[in-house]
C-alpha cells in the first residue's frame, strides 16, 4: 500500500481498497479462504488492522463455507462482518449463502466474491452476479479500486437497511488494478445489540421458510424500486442520442475510456449500473424505448440484458454481438462498440508473445514426489487436485483436475471402474491446504466404503499457490496471533486410515520404498486406502533456507534427456549449438534430487 504525499490518499490495489472499506465501515469480524484474485482482501485487512491499531478479528478459515458461516454468525451476534473468496469458492459456500438470504441478517453482512473472466487462474469463468440473482442476494459491481472502497461502505449500509446479505463482485481487473483512492476515518465498530432468540426466524422450519421467502421477495422489490444504485446512470454529456450503451463493473472503465477517446463515438449515450441485481427493470426498459438501438456490455453473463423485458432493439451476448465466453479486454470492447455503431475498426497489430508453459519451481518438493510416483506406479490413473501440484500434468502424474478435494472422491469412484490391462491402479494427489479444505470428508467416505487406492498428501506447510497463506497446521492465525495447530497425522488417523507413512520427497530411495509398501497394502493385499504424506517446506516460503550446494553435468552425460522429460526441472538447459546439457546455477535450488536419479550418473557436486 504505497503512501502518497497526502495521507488521506493512497495508491491502492482494488483488493486493498476493499480491505480498507471493510475497516472504515466499522466491521468487527472478517473471514476468508485464499484464492486468486481475492487473496489480498484479507491480507490487506491484516495490514490495515496493524496500521490503524484496529480491533477487527480476521481469520483464514479452513474453507469458504466455514468463512461465510463465521461471518454470518458474527452478523447474528449483532456486529458487522465480511467474508471474502474467489468465485468458485462461492460454490463451496452456496448452501449457507442461499439459506442466509431467506433468514436475513442483523449486523451488516458483506460477501466479497472476486470473479476471474478469462479465466486466468480458475476452473470456470462463472459470473457471481448471476449466482447472486439465483440466491436472491443484491450485488454491487465496482469498476475501479476507488469504487470498490466506496461500494464496500454502501454494501454494509444496504445490508443493514434491508436485512439481507449483500454481495460485492470485483473482477480481476479491479482486484489487481491500482488507483489513487481517498481514505475516510474508520467509524467505530457498529453494533445492533445482542442476539435475540427467535427460532421461527433463525432456525426456521419449512413452514416459516415460505414466509421468509415472501419477505425476501418484498425486500428485493423495494431495492429495485427505491435504491438509486439499481437504476442506470448516464456517464457522458449529450443525452438524446440514437444509440445507448449500458454497462456495469470492470468493463465499464473500458467502455468509458473508449467512447471518450474516439470522436466517432460521441453519438452514444453511456449508462452504468452499480447494482446489477436487482436492477431497476423499468429504468432499463425506458432507455431501450428511447433509443433506436441499445448495446449491453457486461462481464461475463447477460445479467443486465436478461432483466430487460423487451429486447427487440437490444444487442449484446444474447444477440451474439458480444462473445459468450472470454474476458472483455479493451481491444475487444472497442471492436464490438465500433461494429455495432457501424464504424470502421481500428487496425492494430497484436504483439507476438512466446507462450511459456507453467512449471513447478526449481527445488519444489512436489517434483521429486511426482517423479517417484511415476517410477513406482507407472501406468496408474492419477487423480489430481487444485493447487501448485496440478502442474504434475507436465510429468504425466496428474490425469484429472475437477475442483477442491475432488481427487480423493474421484479416486474412490475410479477404483471401482473396469480398467484396461496396465491401468489397474488409482493414485490420488492433494496438497495440505486442499486436504484441510475439502479432502477430509472424501477420505472418510473412501475408508468407510473400502475404496482401494493410494493417496499422496503433498505437505509443503503452506497454501503456496495463492501466495503463502498459513494452513490449520500452523499455530498462529492470519494476523500472527496464537492459534491451535491441527496435526495432519492425527487427522488422517481420525478418518479411519490404518496405513499412514511420512516420506521425504528429496530422499529418492526412501520415498520409493514407502510408496512400494503403500502399493502392496492397497493393491496387492487389497486392504483399502493407503496414505503417504510427502513432507518438505515450499521453497518459496518465508524463512526457508535453501541448500547452498550447486551441481554440474560431467562427461558421462549421454543426452538421454530424462532431466528435461521426466524430471522437468527448469534449471536444466540443452545447449543445442554445443550438443550438451547444462545447469543454470541461478535457477538451481540445490535440492540434489537429480544427482540421485540421473540414469547415467553424470550429475555431480560442482568442483567435486
Q: What is the pLDDT of residue 168?
A: 98
Query: Could you tell me which of 13, 276, 232 has the C-alpha nearest to residue 127?
Result: 276
- Is residue 270 within 8 A of residue 234, CB to CB? The reply is yes
Residue 70 vs residue 462, higher pLDDT: 70
Q: Is the pLDDT of residue 3 over 60?
A: no
Residue 115 bridge partners (DSSP): 171
Q: What is the pLDDT of residue 306?
A: 98
Residue 401 vs residue 357, higher pLDDT: 401
Alpha-carbon gap, residue 572 to 303, rounded angstroms? 49
The pLDDT-based confidence of 420 (bands split at 50, 70, 90) is low
- Cell numbers that stand for 230 in this block: 439499481
Alpha carbon distances (Å) from 464 to 346, 389, 452, 469, 556:
42, 10, 29, 7, 37
Alpha-carbon gap, residue 204 to 185, rounded angstroms? 39
Q: What is the pLDDT of residue 240?
A: 67
Secondary structure of residue 468 in the 3-state scheme: coil
Compute the average pLDDT of residues 4-28. 91
**Which range (308-317, 346-355, 433-442) has the least confidence?**
346-355
- Cell numbers that stand for 344 in this block: 470502421
Q: What is the pLDDT of residue 2?
A: 53
- Is residue 581 within 8 A of residue 557, CB to CB? The reply is yes
Secondary structure of residue 217 in the 3-state scheme: helix
Compute the average pLDDT of residues 300-309. 97
By the 10 Å C-beta count (0-12 exposed, 13-18 middle, 19+ buried), 38 is classed as: buried
Packed helices 508-519 and 366-377: angle between N→C axes, nearest 10 degrees: 50
Alpha-carbon gap, residue 446 to 19, rounded angstroms? 40
Alpha-carbon gap, residue 107 to 81, rounded angstroms? 7
- Type and span of the H or E element at 373: helix 366-377
The pLDDT-based confidence of 355 (bands split at 50, 70, 90) is confident
User: Which position has the grid cell 442461499?
Assistant: 98
Alpha carbon distances (Å) from 168 to 87, 128, 601:
11, 9, 57
Alpha-carbon gap, residue 138 to 105, rounded angstroms? 13
**Which range (231-240, 311-320, 535-544) has the least confidence?**
231-240
The proportion of the chain whose per-residue pLDDT surpasses 90, expressed as a percent, equals: 87
Alpha-carbon gap, residue 575 to 391, rounded angstroms? 25
For 580-592, the pLDDT digits (tens) are 999 999 999 999 9
For 190-230, the pLDDT digits (tens) are 999 999 999 999 999 999 999 999 999 999 999 999 999 99
Q: What is the pLDDT of residue 467?
A: 86
Give the CA angle between residues 50, 54, 55 to the nearest 5°. 115
The pLDDT-based confidence of 378 (bands split at 50, 70, 90) is confident
**For the CA atoms of 451, 533, 37, 114, what is the dihedral angle to 10 degrees?**
40
Q: Is the peptide bond before 119 cis (omega within 30 degrees of 0)?
A: yes
Compute the average pLDDT of residues 334-360. 86
Alpha-carbon gap, residue 416 to 426, rounded angstroms? 10
- Per residue, the 3-state secondary structure of 80-140, as one string, reads CEEEEEEHHHHHHCHHHHHHHHHHCCCCCEEEEEEECCCCCCCCCCCCHHHHHHHHCCCEE
- Type and span of the H or E element at 174: helix 172-175
- Per residue, the 3-state secondary structure of 249-277, as one string, reads CCHHHHHHHHHHHCHHHCCEEEEECCCCE
Compute the average pLDDT of residues 440-445. 98
Compute the average pLDDT of residues 407-433. 87
Q: What is the pLDDT of residue 6?
A: 66
Neighbours of 348 (CB within 10 A): 9
- Is residue 462 within 8 A of residue 471, CB to CB? The reply is yes
The pLDDT-based confidence of 603 (bands split at 50, 70, 90) is very high
Q: Sign of the C-alpha dihedral, residues 465, 176, 71, 189?
A: positive
**Which range (96-105, 126-135, 334-343) has the least confidence?**
334-343
Give the CA angle between residues 141, 138, 142 to the nearest 5°. 10
Q: Is the pLDDT of residue 11 over 70?
A: yes
Alpha-carbon gap, residue 472 to 63, rounded angstroms? 11
Enumerate residues 6+ apart whose C-beta is below 8 A from 401.
123, 384, 385, 386, 390, 393, 407
Q: What is the largest CA-CA distance in the chain?
A: 82
**Reported pTM:** 0.94
- Is residue 4 within 8 A of residue 10, CB to CB? The reply is yes
Enumerate residues 6+ apart whose C-beta is below 8 A from 111.
68, 71, 82, 83, 84, 85, 90, 93, 97, 137, 165, 166, 167, 168
The pLDDT-based confidence of 302 (bands split at 50, 70, 90) is very high
For 106-141, the pLDDT digits (tens) are 999 999 999 999 999 899 999 999 999 999 999 999
Enumerate residues 6+ apart whose C-beta is below 8 A from 106.
75, 76, 77, 78, 163, 192, 195
Q: What is the pLDDT of residue 421?
A: 52
The pLDDT-based confidence of 238 (bands split at 50, 70, 90) is low
Q: What is the pLDDT of residue 423?
A: 58
Packed helices 94-103 and 128-135: angle between N→C axes, nearest 10 degrees: 50
Average pLDDT taken over every residue of the chain: 94
Amino acid at each position: 500500500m504505497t503512501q502518497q504525499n497526502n495521507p488521506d490518499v493512497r495508491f491502492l490495489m482494488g483488493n486493498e481498497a476493499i480491505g480498507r472499506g471493510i475497516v472504515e465501515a466499522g466491521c468487527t469480524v472478517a473471514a476468508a479462504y485464499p484464492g486468486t484474485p481475492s487473496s489480498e482482501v484479507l491480507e490487506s485487512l491484516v495490514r490495515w488492522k496493524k496500521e490503524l491499531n484496529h480491533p477487527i478479528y480476521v481469520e483464514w478459515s479452513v474453507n469458504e463455507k466455514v468463512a461465510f458461516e463465521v461471518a454470518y454468525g458474527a452478523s447474528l451476534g449483532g456486529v458487522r462482518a465480511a467474508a471474502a473468496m474467489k468465485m468458485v469458492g462461492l460454490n463451496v459456500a452456496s448452501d449457507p449463502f442461499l439459506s442466509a438470504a431467506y433468514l436475513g441478517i442483523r449486523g451488516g453482512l458483506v460477501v466479497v466474491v472476486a470473479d476471474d473472466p478469462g479465466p486466468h487462474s480458475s476452473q470456470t469463468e462463472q459470473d457471481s452476479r448471476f449466482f447472486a440473482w439465483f440466491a436472491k442476494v443484491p450485488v454491487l459491481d465496482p469498476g475501479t479500486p476507488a469504487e470498490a472502497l466506496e461500494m464496500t461502505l454502501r454494501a454494509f449500509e444496504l445490508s443493514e437497511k434491508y436485512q439481507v446479505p449483500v454481495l460485492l463482485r470485483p473482477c480481476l481487473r479491479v482486484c489487481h488494478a491500482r488507483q489513487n483512492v481517498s481514505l475516510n476515518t474508520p467509524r467505530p465498530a457498529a453494533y445492533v445489540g445482542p442476539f435475540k432468540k427467535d427460532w421461527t426466524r433463525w432456525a426456521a422450519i419449512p413452514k416459516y421458510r415460505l414466509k421468509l421467502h415472501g419477505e425476501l421477495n418484498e425486500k428485493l422489490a423495494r431495492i429495485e424500486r427505491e435504491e438509486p444504485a439499481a437504476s442506470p446512470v448516464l456517464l457522458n454529456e449529450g443525452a438524446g442520442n440514437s444509440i445507448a450503451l449500458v454497462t456495469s463493473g470492470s468493463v465499464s472503465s473500458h467502455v468509458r475510456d473508449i467512447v471518450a477517446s474516439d470522436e466517432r463515438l460521441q453519438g452514444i449515450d453511456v449508462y452504468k449500473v452499480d447494482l446489477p441485481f436487482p436492477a431497476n427493470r423499468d429504468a432499463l426498459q425506458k432507455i431501450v424505448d428511447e433509443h433506436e438501438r441499445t448495446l449491453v456490455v457486461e462481464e461475463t453473463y447477460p445479467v443486465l440484458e436478461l432483466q430487460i423485458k423487451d429486447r427487440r432493439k437490444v444487442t449484446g451476448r444474447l444477440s451474439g454481438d458480444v462473445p459468450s465466453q472470454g474476458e472483455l479486454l479493451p481491444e475487444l470492447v472497442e471492436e464490438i462498440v465500433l461494429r455495432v455503431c457501424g464504424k470502421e475498426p481500428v487496425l492494430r497489430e497484436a504483439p507476438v508473445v512466446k507462450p511459456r508453459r507453467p512449471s513447478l519451481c526449481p527445488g519444489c518438493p512436489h517434483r521429486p514426489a511426482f517423479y517417484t510416483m511415476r517410477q513406482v506406479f507407472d501406468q496408474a490413473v492419477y487423480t489430481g487436485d487444485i493447487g501448485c501440484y496440478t502442474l504434475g500434468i507436465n510429468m504425466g502424474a496428474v490425469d484429472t483436475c475437477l475442483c477442491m478435494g475432488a481427487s480423493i472422491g474421484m479416486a474412490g469412484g475410479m477404483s471401482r471402474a473396469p480398467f484396461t490391462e496396465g491401468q489397474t491402479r488409482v493414485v490420488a494427489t492433494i496438497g495440505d491446504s486442499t486436504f484441510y479444505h475439502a479432502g477430509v470428508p472424501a477420505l472418510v467416505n473412501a475408508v468407510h466404503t473400502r475404496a482401494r487406492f493410494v493417496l499422496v498428501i503433498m505437505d509443503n506447510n503452506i497454501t503456496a499457490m495463492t501466495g503463502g497463506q498459513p494452513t490449520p497446521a500452523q499455530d498462529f492465525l492470519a494476523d500472527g496471533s496464537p492459534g491451535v495447530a491441527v496435526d495432519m497425522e492425527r487427522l488422517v488417523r481420525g478418518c479411519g486410515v490404518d496405513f499412514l507413512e511420512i516420506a521425504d520427497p528429496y530422499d529418492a530411495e526412501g520415498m520409493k520404498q514407502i510408496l512400494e509398501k503403500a502399493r502392496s497394502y492397497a493393491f496387492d493385499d487389497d486392504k483399502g486406502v493407503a496414505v503417504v504424506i510427502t513432507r518438505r517446506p515450499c521453497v518459496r516460503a518465508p524463512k526457508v533456507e535453501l541448500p547452498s550446494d550447486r551441481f554440474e553435468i560431467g562427461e558421462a552425460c549421454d543426452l538421454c534427456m530424462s532431466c528435461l522429460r521426466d524430471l522437468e526441472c527448469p534449471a536444466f538447459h540443452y545447449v543445442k549449438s554445443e550438443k550438451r546439457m547444462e545447469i543454470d546455477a541461478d535457477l538451481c535450488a540445490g535440492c540434489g534430487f537429480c544427482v540421485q536419479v540421473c540414469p547415467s550418473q553424470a550429475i555431480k557436486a560442482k568442483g567435486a
